[in-house]
Amino acid sequence: MNILDNIIVDKEREVAFKKSLVPPVQLEQAMLFARPAFSLSNALRHSSSGIIAEHKRRSPSKAVINHDTKVWEVVKGYEEAGVCGISVLTDTPYFGGSLEDLLVARASVQTPLLRKEFIVDEYQLLEAKAYGADVILLIAAVLTRQRIRELSLFAQDLGLEVLLEVHNLEELEKSLMPSLDMLGVNNRNLKTFEVSLDTSKELAAHIPDEFVKVSESGISDTAAIKDLREYGYRGFLVGENFMKTTDPGAAASGFIKDLNS
Ligand SMILES: O=C(O)c1ccccc1NCC(=O)[C@H](O)[C@H](O)COP(=O)(O)O
């Protein structure tokens, strides 16, 4: 089993346990559940930077990235820097995040929020809505076409946007469907942790124009973004490069200024 297999096995157990504690109807009664979501895809279409900045304490590939973060401080810093969207990791065992992080982020900013999670069940979409997310992530490597369809339609019914993540042509071809809003290419192979921006470049031509293209992972300088834009990418998910600094908001601000200069 690779790390992704392990994460999914653990996630299925975790979701089953959470369902036994909090029934779906309780999530539907949460205050934030009825709130209309912000559109990340629109923000990306009209943005000059396209940065989606991530709150990421640790990861399987890098271990600890930043343990001293205060979520509210990081996301406010990101918003002030002018990012288009903020990705909040909510997985605890592998990334040190939580749904509480998402709730704090929602209370702190008006920027579109992506619940960065390993989604295997509709229940997690109800959680995403109840805790203030605007967008959810679906990872093609761990879902069948049928499940991508069911989950994306369920998200659409809840008013959440969907970012579908692929890593190769096979995943892309099995996943294309109208219920997706954004197509993300992860430059990190989640099974081996190898990172190459060539993955985004190679897949770009295969992504139909109606989907906003997002390049994810391993982006550490503005030259990479200028290059990826040439391939039609409008969104750029950046985590470690900001989070490894003592002030992620300031790092994002400097990055965006450099990008726009
Ligand atoms: O980051 C990891 O090590 C990782 C391992 C296994 C599954 C997912 C993983 N990361 C999720 C992400 O996609 C990244 O956090 C995100 O794209 C930002 O990447 P980066 O800018 O390289 O921190």
pLDDT reported for residue 261: 86
CATH number of the domain at 152, please.
3.20.20.70
Residues with a catalytic annotation lie at 54, 56, 116, 165, 186, 216-217
Check residue 201 and give its pLDDT.
98
217 within ligand 1 shell (Cβ under 6 A) = yes
Mean pLDDT within 86-104: 98
| pLDDT tens per residue across span 123-151 | 999 999 999 999 999 999 999 999 999 99
Asked if residue 61 has its Cβ within 6 Å of ligand 1, the reply is: yes
Nearest atom (ligand 1) to Cα of 3: 6
pLDDT class of 50 with cuts at 50, 70, 90: very high
65 lines ligand 1 (CB under 6 A): no
Q: How far is the CA of 104 from the centre of ligand 1 (A)?
A: 21
Give this complex's ipTM.
0.97
Tokens 């990012």 map to which residue? 83
User: For residue 240, which atom of ligand 1 is closest to its CA?
Assistant: 23
DSSP 142-188: GS-HHHHHHHHHHHHHHT-EEEEEESSHHHHHHH--TT-SEEEEESB
Mapped onto helix, strand or coil, the DSSP state of residue 140 is helix
Domain count, the chain: 1
Q: How far apart are the first and last CA of the chain?
A: 46
Q: Is the CB of 49 under 6 A from ligand 1?
A: no
Rounded to whole angstroms, the Cα distance separating 122 from 97 reads 20
Cα(117) to ligand 1 centroid in Å equals: 11
What sections of the chain are H helices per DSSP? Answer: 3-21, 24-28, 40-45, 71-81, 99-108, 122-130, 145-158, 169-175, 198-204, 222-229, 240-243, 248-260
Q: Please state the rounded mean pLDDT for residues 61-78.
A: 93
Q: Mutation test of ligand 1: which of 59, 165, 194 has the most ligand atoms closer than 8 Å to its C-beta?
A: 59
Percentage with pLDDT > 70 across the chain: 100
pLDDT higher than 90, residue 158: yes
Q: Report the alpha-carbon distance of residue 20 to residue 39 in Å, rounded.
A: 32
Q: Which residue, judged by its Cα, is nearest atom 12 of ligand 1?
A: 217
pTM above 0.80, yes or no: yes
Q: Which of 188, 196, 237, 245 to mutate to test the pocket of ligand 1 (most atoms within 8 A of CB)?
A: 188
What does the pLDDT read at residue 1?
79
Kindly report, residue by residue over 105-125, the tens digit of the pLDDT: 999 999 999 999 999 999 999
Q: Whose alpha carbon is nearest atom 14 of ligand 1?
A: 217
Tell me the C-alpha distance between 179 and 152, whole Å: 6
Residue 234 · residue 225 · CB < 8 Å: no
Q: What mean pLDDT is reported for the chain?
A: 97
Which pLDDT tens digit goes with each residue over 11-45? 999 999 999 999 999 999 999 999 999 999 999 99
Q: Whose CA is nearest to atom 6 of ligand 1?
A: 190
> Nearest 5°: phi and psi at 185?
-105, 120
Residues 217-230 have a mean pLDDT of: 97
Question: How many Å apart are CA 43 and CA 164, to the nearest integer?
Answer: 17
Supply the range of the domain harboring residue 163: 3-260
